[in-house]
Amino acid sequence: MQATDKIWRNGSFVSWEDANVHILTHALHYGTGVFEGIRAYDTPKGSAVFRLTDHLERLRRSAALYQMDLGYSVPELAAAVHETVGVNGVPSCYVRPIVFRGAGPMGLYPGDNPVEVAIAVWPWGAYLGEDALEHGVRCKVSSFRRIGPNTLPPTAKATGQYINSVLAKLESSRAGYDEAILLNEEGYVADGSGENVFVVRGGVLYTPPTSASCLPGITRETVIRIAHTLGYEVREVNLVRTDLYFGDEVFLCGTAAEVTPVASVDDHPTGPRGPVTKQIQETFFAIVGGQDERFADLLEYPVRAAV
């Protein structure tokens, strides 16, 4: 990965090299952190952060589940994100805010450990490869089930829960696939290791409801709005693995993955990239690039001081 200069940590900037933690950091041992993945894009009006407030609201909710007080308001964190992007000179980048229980007492009770807040940014190209945006990725349905609402609620974006995604990712990678799709405990499709899933069939878009143990993705929600704007029907319904196999088109979406077509699922071809996926993808890239006025409300620019 490409390092940048500064990381925002608890209200001030430290150099990238000095942004370290103690070995006894609570979150390192017990996964007691929550985070966000956000992207900033270079637009004709300058660097814009896509749905920044929505991401930070989700961060606040994730932190609340684990009883962590952020110590900063959402507008304060939004300003810190813009400042971190600006100070590092990366108008187009990935933004990673993280809130975690720091070093202090060991043991499972986290209440006496300090809550640390940090924001790092770095350039991050196509998550699953440039080629994937056009030709798609080969997916494997994982033998590991997705965490559930009463184990590690997937609605929060906690660091510890990602070992579930890591298991699935390792399995799919070892088997020679690009990405894993997880089913929930009931056997319905949940999401990818780091993306939501859509199936297109007969011109209708299908995606699992958030009650299917997927992360309530912000890109997912954006795709639903794009699809409606383009005149497509979207159904949030439970899907089984064969719905993936026999979809006319399948695609993944997420902040890092953006909109990535799926070429095959368990070697059943679902690609090459279909016309609906292409249209959604092109609209998405126009939106984040500041070239679609219909969705201008989704881009957040730094507030400039009046001159």
Distance CA 37, CA 157 (A): 9
In whole angstroms, how close is the CB of 109 to ligand PPE at the nearest point? 27
Which one of residues 184, 196, 264, 281 is an interface residue with ligand PPE (CB under 6 A)?
A: 196
The reply to whether 254 sits near ligand PPE by the rule CB under 6 A is yes
Nearest to 98 by CA among 5, 7, 34, 9: 34
Q: Does residue 243 touch ligand PPE according to CB under 6 A? A: no
- Is 157 part of the annotated catalytic residue set? yes
What's the longest Cα–Cα distance across the chain?
59
Q: Which residue, judged by CB position, is nearest to ligand PPE in the bound state?
A: 37
CA–CA gap between residue 97 and residue 117 (Å, rounded): 7
Q: Is residue 31 near ligand PPE by the rule CB under 6 A?
A: no
Figure out which of the listed residues 31, 37, 110, 302 binds ligand PPE, where binding follows CB under 6 A: 37
Packing angle of the helix pair 218-229, 52-65 (nearest 10 deg) = 140
Residue closer to ligand PPE, measured from CB, 71 or 155: 155
H or E stretch covering 28: helix 26-30
Using CB under 6 A as the binding criterion, the count of chain residues that bind ligand PPE stands at 16
Chain position carrying tokens 């500041």: 290
Q: Of the candidates 6, 81, 87, which has an alpha carbon nearest to the alpha carbon of residue 50?
A: 81
Subset of 219-238 contacting ligand PPE (CB under 6 A): 219-220
274 binds ligand PPE (CB under 6 A): no
Selected from 165, 184, 264, 283, the binder of ligand PPE by CB under 6 A is 165
Q: Alpha-carbon Rg of the chain, whole angstroms?
A: 19
Active-site position among 6, 140, 157, 169: 157
DSSP state of 145: P
Distance CA 101, CA 30 (A): 9
Among the residue ranges 63-71, 114-122, 209-217, 287-295, the one whose residues contact ligand PPE (CB under 6 A) = 209-217
Residue carrying the six token digits 């009006």: 45
156 binds ligand PPE (CB under 6 A): no
Q: Which residues are catalytic?
A: 157
**Which residue ranges make up the site for ligand PPE (CB under 6 A)?**
37, 165, 191, 194-196, 214-215, 217-220, 254-257
